[in-house]
Amino acid sequence: MEEKKATRKKMTINGEEVLPGETKRITVNIAKLPSHSSIDVSITVSRALEDGPVLLLSGGLHGDEINGVEIVRRIIEKGLNIPKTGTTICIPIINVYGFIHFSRYVPDGKDVNRSFPGNKNGSLAARVAYFLMQEIIPKIDYGIDFHTGGADRTNYPQVRAMMNDVENEDLAKAFGAPFMLHSKYRPKSLRQAAGKRGKRILVYEGGESSRFDEFAIKLGIDGAMRLMHHLKMTDLNPPMDFESLRINKSSWIRAKASGLLQTKLKSGQTIKKNQVVGYITDPFGDFKIPIKSPASGFIIGLNNNPILHQGDAVMHIGVQ
């Protein structure tokens, strides 16, 4: 029987070395608030004895998107982060300030996921981004960044990547979300900054901000295990009871008038071109305007706020 190859690569994060076969919790201070309260990021690193890929599992880049936090937390709690080969780096909450304030942002209103590659002397968002780019991203090969819909919008479980890259497409297929969405890089995002360094990061979207969605959480955990199995990091390979559909383009239906949204459709449903998907009604009973789908496809995102202003996003339609 062939002996396993021992991991020789040294791994140090924030000055702390993690040895082969070791799982270690590392706490990194990013900043201090005026109250002297520390903004600390907690990182759990787990290394196998055998060489293999380094995989980042991260949540809470937007502090109010708690499904991602819960996905990474449960992976750690259940020991699913402990690989048979390679290394996992788990960061349940990247934007700690936003998490404790139920906010997408940091104190100055900046979005961490629009602040990469960061600046060590910049705003809190820039400092968080800088830390990740200096201490975490150079060490990884792959990553899954867990998100939800924002601002009262729910996203049906989907994985996003640059699908014109063959390896990205293979990773997305291995993850196995209900939808695989071809998604271009967003400027100054973690995915773009990591991509420029040759690192492939999938973005998983599932559920709505500030709410637990058990369906999205379970699919996120299962997808992470399937991806780890694909990378030969675990023997676990949860089965799929659905087909993973590729979405090549998508667009939001926007409100043509201000009013109240009336719809009985749910995220994930199939719709047809010109199908009436809902109505915008006047709160005083003066009008009722039908909303029609511009194309046949799937509802991959839905606004849950019944109060609409003209131009607001109503439904995100994905087309195969």
Q: What is the predicted pLDDT for the residue at 4?
A: 45
Q: What is the predicted pLDDT for the residue at 150?
A: 87
Sheet containing 288-292, strands listed edge to edge, beginning at the edge strand earlier in sequence: 288-292, 276-281, 259-262, 307-308
Contacts of 104 (CB under 8 A, 6+ apart): 62, 63, 64, 65, 98, 111, 150, 209
Classified as helix, coil or strand, 307 is strand
Hey, what amino acid is at 292? K
Q: What is the pLDDT along the chain (320 residues), one digit of tens a residue?
A: 344 455 567 899 999 999 999 999 999 999 888 888 888 999 999 999 999 999 999 999 999 999 999 999 999 999 999 999 999 999 999 999 999 999 999 988 899 999 999 999 999 999 999 999 999 999 999 999 999 998 889 999 999 999 999 999 999 999 999 999 999 999 999 999 999 999 999 999 999 999 999 999 999 999 999 999 999 999 999 999 999 999 999 999 999 999 999 999 999 999 999 999 999 999 999 999 999 999 999 999 999 999 999 999 999 999 98
Q: What structural domains and CATH numbers belong to the chain?
A: 11-245 (3.40.630.10), 249-319 (2.40.50.100)
Q: Taking every pair of C-alpha atoms in the chain, what is the biggest distance, in angstroms?
A: 79
> 24: which DSSP letter?
E
CA atoms within 13 A on the CB side of 133: 24
- Answer whether 81's CB lies under 8 Å from 44's CB: yes
Q: What Rg, from alpha-carbon coordinates, does the chain have?
A: 21
Contacts of 36 (CB under 8 A, 6+ apart): none
Strands (E) in the chain, as ranges, are 11-13, 16-18, 23-32, 38-47, 54-58, 87-91, 142-149, 153-161, 179-182, 200-208, 245-247, 249-254, 259-262, 270-271, 276-281, 288-292, 297-303, 307-308, 313-319
| Token representation of residue 269 | 């449903």
pTM of the model: 0.94
Q: What is the predicted pLDDT for the residue at 171?
A: 98
- DSSP letters, 97-149, are HHHHTT-SS-TTS--GGGSTT--TTS-HHHHHHHHIIIIIGGG-SEEEEEEEE
